[in-house]
Amino acid sequence: MRVIRVGTRKSQLARIQTDSVVATLKALYPGLQFEISEFSGKELFLVRQIGEKSLFTKELEHALEKNEVDLVVHSLKDLPTVLPPGFTIGAICKRENPHDAVVFHPKFVGKTLETLPEKSVVGTSSLRRAAQLQRKFSHLEFRSIRGNLNTRLRKLDEQQEFSAIILATAGLQRMGWHNRVGQILHPEECMYAVGQGALGVEVRAKDQDILDLVGVLHDPETLLRCIAERAFLRHLEGGCSVPVAVHTAMKDGQLYLTGGVWSLDGSDSIQDTMQATIHVPAQHEDGPEDDPQLVGITARNIPRGPQLAAQNLGISLANLLLSKGAKNILDVARQLNDAH
């Protein structure tokens, strides 16, 4: 029986996400065996705090490169829009709720960010969330909180420092912690990160066998939304060291993309929305192309036209924001963040 080796980080959430993808693959390919290997990611932890998300995935990519694993499951928002040579995202699974959620300290259960007392401290490790929420909820103080989901919840519950913390709804749901979600933030309060709520399967770009194997996991609507989002971020030259956020929706053959950039304190921002006519395609068999990657993603079983249209939408919106002065806001945010 052929064995497919899957790499994952050691965190509980990473393992849950990997297990869910492997369960789907097992159901699709009962004749294959799947083996999961856990990698600590320890040596990369300090690097990650600088804000370079791509460095967090290095250890797993090293295992992919050395042929120790065949595929790696990631939160798509952690994967850079330009992958190192030799790698590609071979599947983007159906997106879960992409919005951010507020988890309150037990003594504030039943509150919302609006009704928290003056000067309450809210924890978030994300510049994107802090910039948007500071602007909206000026009576609150936003402070950095580090660690995985378990660590952050423990800090919230056991220490008296934080009144609430902001986390991705999808992560809380995957962990089975639905009951801790006190408030879900809507796009007008806080737009989400590029790719948030979706899982990406990273593989070797030249491994056609594995690409074919995981390609069936592509969810066409999620794929097109995420191509638009990633193209927007890439064209802005944003990364996780600057506050960039998006919101996408697919309705009646139209893909709507809203994107924004913020100064670190949220006082300055530029946002806009564009749309393009894109019909969500059914999967189909497609011949190989010379360079099938778009923003790091390979989806040969989805028609090329809608993918290109989604990418062009992202680039067009980025150009619109750049023409309105987004580069200056991002440059200043980057300099300030690098100075810390």
Task: Specify the amino acid at residue 227.
Answer: I
Whole-Å CA distances, 264 to 127, 235, 324 = 7, 20, 18
Residue recorded with tokens 């065996």: 33
Pairwise CA distance, residues 92 & 200, whole Å: 5
The answer on pLDDT for 50 being more than 70 is: no
Place 291 in a pLDDT band, splitting at 50, 70 and 90: low
The tokens describing 279, both together, are 């019909």
Q: pLDDT tens for residues 233-278? A: 999 986 667 899 999 999 999 999 999 999 999 999 999 999 999 9
The answer on pLDDT for 51 being more than 60 is: no
Pairwise CA distance, residues 295 & 214, whole Å: 18
pLDDT (mean) for 210-219: 96
Whole-Å CA distances, 293 to 81, 87, 89, 228, 296 = 11, 10, 9, 14, 6
Q: pLDDT tens for residues 320-337? A: 999 999 999 999 988 888
Q: Is the Cβ–Cβ distance between 170 and 77 less than 8 Å?
A: no
pLDDT (mean) for 61-66: 89
- The count of other CB atoms within 10 Å of the CB of residue 195 is 27
Per DSSP, 145 falls in state -
Q: Which segments of 211-324 are extended strands (E)?
A: 244-251, 254-262, 269-277
Write down the pLDDT at residue 2.
94
Indicate the pairing of strand 71-75 with strand 3-9: parallel
Place 305 in a pLDDT band, splitting at 50, 70 and 90: very high
Per DSSP, 303 falls in state -
Q: Check residues 165 and 335 and name the one with the higher pLDDT.
A: 165
Question: Residue 302, SS3?
Answer: coil
Complete edge-to-edge strand list for the sheet that includes strand 71-75: 33-39, 3-9, 71-75, 199-204, 87-92
Write down the pLDDT at residue 39.
86
Indicate the pairing of strand 244-251 with strand 33-39: unpaired
Write down the pLDDT at residue 10.
87
Question: Residue 214, SS3?
Answer: helix
Q: Domains in the chain and their CATH numbers?
A: 3-96+194-339 (3.30.160.40), 100-184 (3.40.190.10)
Residue recorded with tokens 């699709």: 28
Write down the pLDDT at residue 285.
54
Q: Is the Cβ–Cβ distance between 15 and 38 less than 8 Å?
A: yes
Give the containing element (helix H, strand E) for 103.
strand 100-104
- The count of other CB atoms within 10 Å of the CB of residue 279 is 16
Catalytic annotation, residues: 78
pTM of the model: 0.92
End-to-end C-alpha distance for the chain, whole angstroms: 52
